[in-house]
Amino acid sequence: MTDTVTTKAVSGASALVEKVPLETYVPPAKPSLIGLSRAEISDRLGEIGVQAGQRKMRTQQLWNWMYFRGAKNFAEMTNVSKDMRAELEKHFTVDRPEVVAEQISNDGTRKWLLRLPSGDKAERPHEVECVYIPETDRGTLCVSSQVGCTLNCSFCHTGTQRLVRNLTAGEIVGQVMVARDRLNDWADREDGTRRVTNIVMMGMGEPLYNFDAVRDALLIVGDNEGIGISRRRITLSTSGVVPNIKRTGDEIGVMLAISLHAVRDELRNELVPLNRKYPIKELLQACRDYPGASNARRITFEYVMLKGVNDSLDDARLLVKLLKGIPAKINLIPFNPWPGTAYECSDWEQIEKFSEYIFNAGYSSPVRTPRGRDILAACGQLKSETEKLSARERQALRAMAMTD
């Protein structure tokens, strides 16, 4: 039996790429250079006999072709000698994750299912999702850091999938490169604009439980001689891995977002079980100490609106009290339903009251417009296609799409 994906999503969304049968999968014979730092690339060149005096120049050539021009193979690297290209081709690739399915929502949101090399033909290759959200003034790419998740947040679809493994730096950077490939968004775009302008580490997994790979990947993404996305346009979202929050500011220097979702420990213990290890008081102190936080670089607190659970005005009052002294904005997220969930989205009138109270207290409180719900691409809905939906879940998904 082949492993395929339905090419027509619910509610009129379309899939432009059929999922590739797993029988066709062949593990890579050569390592990819994607995700390596300049020093690591130089070391690899040394391993294949490139003289020390040439490595800096060759490294910079490769860096420019991979991360600025988006070259998909060494043959494209025309200012590298023919013999050097042949030697590189013998040992390495510049491969990124394989796109095995693409869905486009009615609102223009795109979701890619990406297959990652396992390195072992006997092992099923792993898959993750990343999402591109186009807006009038920006294009945001939501990137995954793990296959699955270990946090088990009760309102999150991704949290129902077991953690399989961490992604490598190359697999994280590769998601950005895939998006630029699919959107024709490299340096040679005729109008000079960029479609991917912002990165959010808000996809599958907890980024701060894969700190080293996330750090290395984001330093490449933010490098102004390569992919060149400003660190002020890169946001890392964590559920509250307190020991690595300061490290994020010191070693990566990107914007910080906290998945808060509750103002009392007893409720947050249920919604975000990590709270049992790092309770609210400890988490908020880490935010107060976050390097570089200021009114110009505010910390975003994400707050999913759950009907009758965390959406009362008492919750809003306590939220304002808790965040006192932290340069912050509160991002209110209407709950995005998924098959089998026990939660409902707060009524819109209640969301507006909650938002108004926070705004009047002096905090920005935008309500995030749900995007890509019809293809399960909205916040909290990502789940690898390897985790199959049951017939009952598929029926529930169709019903949800009909009511949107």
Q: Residue 255 and residue 235: Cα distance in Å, rounded?
A: 5
- Is 345 one of the catalytic residues? no
C-alpha span between 90 and 184 (Å, rounded): 28
Residue in 219, 181, 5, 223 with CA at minimum distance from that of residue 97: 181
3-state DSSP assignment of residue 255: strand
CB atoms within 10 A of CB 97: 27
User: Is 129 marked active-site?
Assistant: yes
Secondary structure class of 106 (helix, strand, coil): coil
CB 4 within 8 A of CB 69: no
Select which of 129, 171, 206, 302 is catalytic: 129
* 256 residue type, one letter: L
CB distance 109 to 336 below 8 Å? no
Rounded distance between C-alpha atoms, residue 15 and residue 112, angstroms: 9
The label of the residue with tokens 């933010």 reads: 222
Structure tokens of 395? 């029926």
Q: What is the rounded CA–CA span in Å between residue 123 and residue 392?
A: 29
Catalytic residue among 130, 156, 345, 379: 379
Please tell me the distance from the alpha carbon of residue 144 to that of residue 162, in angstroms, as a whole number.
14
Candidates 104, 180, 52, 157; CA nearest to 393 is: 157
Q: How far apart are CA 282 and CA 287, in angstroms?
A: 9
* Sign of the Cα pseudo-torsion (363, 369, 370, 372, in order): negative
Positions annotated as catalytic residues are 129, 379
